[in-house]
């Protein structure tokens, strides 16, 4: 079986590694000739909107998927006329625009921060009055890892924000003074079967995920159930196939959906060692119509992203029961270069290991 992947970053690389174990072969399309997937898949180097390249890419594929959120929806539709594409292109379209995404959540009865479309500075001023400050002004499209965001704390920030990222395609969201950031990974097969990983706690710095704790420490069964209920609504509304991630804020005991990603997700990397079946294998099982694998956690895991620079691998590997993942990318500030996963029998020993790794990374 030959699987096509739009995008050849670390997510594609980890999909290809998981799928190679199952005897699958991969072809990726990416504009970067040095894309991390290149050593474990056939790589076609081209832009996503290059229709000739898409034709070549599609030839002989059994199924296609995407590992990058900002693939043009038209390219995915073009591909979908030639080969089955999962998740469905609609999921990509709803997820690519923060306003559509929030409206979609709202329509499904999933709680979100208050939000308003912003097309002009007048819109912004009015919305800021209605929603109240602090609030976050965001570009509707192409924002990731905290890019294209501006926090408004006082009325003076309105013009600064507008001058910084002003455009007709913005959204203003009330700032949720969250206690924790959480995410759930859900997977749905071609027959509508579903499975859910335990809810994960995520810690970001400068908008980039730094740490995931899985399962989230001390999370109630009620919150797990609430996250699964929200995930089911999204999965069914989109007739979704594949892995889906939804990120939440936890505030006063309630989940506020922030965004969803119609793909494997950074907050699921822990599943490679920390769950019975990894998110990567389960995504592939789903899109191939194979039975889904168990999402049960094996102990208590933590995933620490390696961003910008790499630590001495010897120091990392000297730590007991530490799993180092490197994506074969050139170091660059803010770039995700790899991650470390640890798996421990209880949350307390996990906490100790996380501190040890943070100390190691700092010095």
- Least distance from a copy of itself to the Cβ atom of residue 21, Å: 5
Q: Does 360 bind a copy of itself (CB under 8 A)?
A: no
Residues 267-286 touching a copy of itself, rule: CB under 8 A, are 276, 285
Compare residues 26 and 240 and give the one whose CB is closer to a copy of itself. Answer: 26
- Least distance from a copy of itself to the Cβ atom of residue 128, Å: 46
Q: Does 298 bind a copy of itself (CB under 8 A)?
A: yes
Q: Does 221 bind a copy of itself (CB under 8 A)?
A: no
- Least distance from a copy of itself to the Cβ atom of residue 25, Å: 5
Q: Does 355 bind a copy of itself (CB under 8 A)?
A: no
# of chain residues touching a copy of itself (CB under 8 A): 31
- Least distance from a copy of itself to the Cβ atom of residue 17, Å: 6
Binds a copy of itself by CB under 8 A, chosen from 60, 217, 291, 331: 291
Compare residues 96 and 341 and give the one whose CB is closer to a copy of itself. Answer: 341
- Least distance from a copy of itself to the Cβ atom of residue 330, Å: 11
Q: Does 326 bind a copy of itself (CB under 8 A)?
A: yes
Binds a copy of itself by CB under 8 A, chosen from 3, 5, 11, 17: 17
Two structure tokens written together for 132 = 């109240």
Q: Does 3 bind a copy of itself (CB under 8 A)?
A: no
Two structure tokens written together for 354 = 């996380």
DSSP calls for 325-339:
EE------TT-EEEE
Compare residues 174 and 301 and give the one whose CB is closer to a copy of itself. Answer: 301
Q: Does 338 bind a copy of itself (CB under 8 A)?
A: yes
From the list 133-141, 218-226, 246-254, 325-333, the region that binds a copy of itself by CB under 8 A is 325-333
Q: Does 318 bind a copy of itself (CB under 8 A)?
A: yes
Q: Does 20 bind a copy of itself (CB under 8 A)?
A: yes
Q: Is the dihedral of CA 263, 268, 269, 275 positive or negative?
A: negative
For the chain, what is the HEC assignment?
CEEEEECCCHHHHHHHHHHHHCCCEEEEEECCCCCHHHHCCEEEECCCCCHHHHHHHHCCCCEEEECCCCCCHHHHHHHHCCCCECCCHHHHHHHHCHHHHHHHHHHCCCCCCCEEEECCHHHHHHHHHHHCCCEEEEECCCCCCCCCEEEECCCCHHHHHHHHHCCCCEEEEECCCCCEEEEEEEEECCCCCEEECCCEEEEEECCEEEEEEECCCCCCHHHHHHHHHHHHHHHHHCCCCEEEEEEEEEECCEEEEEEEECCCCHHHCCHHHHECCCHHHHHHHHHCCCCCCCCCECCEEEEEEEECCCCCHHHHHHCCCEEEEECCCCCCCCCEEEEEEEEECCHHHHHHHHHHHHHHHHC
- Least distance from a copy of itself to the Cβ atom of residue 68, Å: 20
Q: Does 21 bind a copy of itself (CB under 8 A)?
A: yes
User: Residue numbers of the site for a copy of itself (CB under 8 A)?
Assistant: 13, 17, 20-23, 25-26, 39-41, 276, 285, 290-291, 293-294, 296, 298, 313-314, 317-318, 320-321, 324-328, 338
């Amino acid at each position: 079986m030959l699987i096509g992947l739009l995008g050849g970053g670390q997510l594609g690389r980890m999909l290809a590694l998981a799928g190679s174990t199952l005897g699958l072969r991969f072809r990726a399309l990416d504009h970067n000739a040095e894309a991390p997937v290149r050593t474990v898949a056939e790589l076609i180097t081209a832009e996503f909107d290059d229709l000739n390249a898409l034709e070549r890419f599609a030839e002989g594929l059994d199924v296609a998927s995407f590992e990058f959120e900002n693939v043009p929806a038209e390219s995915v539709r073009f591909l979908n006329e030639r080969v089955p594409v999962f998740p469905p292109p609609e999921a990509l379209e709803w997820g690519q625009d923060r306003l559509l995404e929030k409206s979609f959540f709202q329509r499904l009865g999933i709680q979100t921060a208050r939000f308003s479309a912003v097309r002009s500075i007048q819109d912004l001023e009015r919305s800021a009055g209605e929603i109240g400050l602090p609030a976050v002004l965001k570009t509707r499209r192409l924002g990731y890892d905290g890019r294209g965001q501006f926090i408004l704390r006082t009325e003076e920030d309105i013009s600064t924000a507008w001058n910084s990222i002003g455009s007709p395609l913005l959204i203003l969201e009330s700032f949720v003074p969250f206690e924790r950031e959480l995410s759930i990974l859900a997977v749905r097969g071609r027959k509508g079967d579903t499975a859910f990983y335990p809810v994960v706690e995520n810690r970001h710095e400068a908008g980039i995920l730094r740490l995931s704790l899985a399962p989230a420490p001390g999370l109630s069964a009620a919150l797990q159930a609430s996250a699964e209920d929200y995930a089911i609504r999204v999965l069914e509304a989109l007739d979704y196939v594949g892995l889906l991630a939804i990120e939440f804020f936890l505030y006063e005991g309630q989940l506020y959906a922030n965004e969803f990603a119609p793909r494997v997700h950074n907050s699921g990397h822990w599943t490679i060692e920390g769950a019975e079946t990894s998110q990567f294998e389960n995504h592939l099982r789903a899109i191939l119509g194979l039975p889904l694998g168990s999402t049960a956690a094996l102990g208590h895991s933590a995933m620490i992203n390696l961003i910008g620079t790499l630590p001495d691998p010897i120091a990392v590997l000297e730590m007991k029961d530490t799993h180092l993942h490197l994506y074969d990318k050139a170091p660059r500030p803010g770039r995700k270069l790899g991650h470390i996963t640890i798996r421990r029998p209880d949350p307390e020993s996990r906490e100790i290991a996380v501190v040890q790794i943070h100390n190691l990374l700092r010095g």
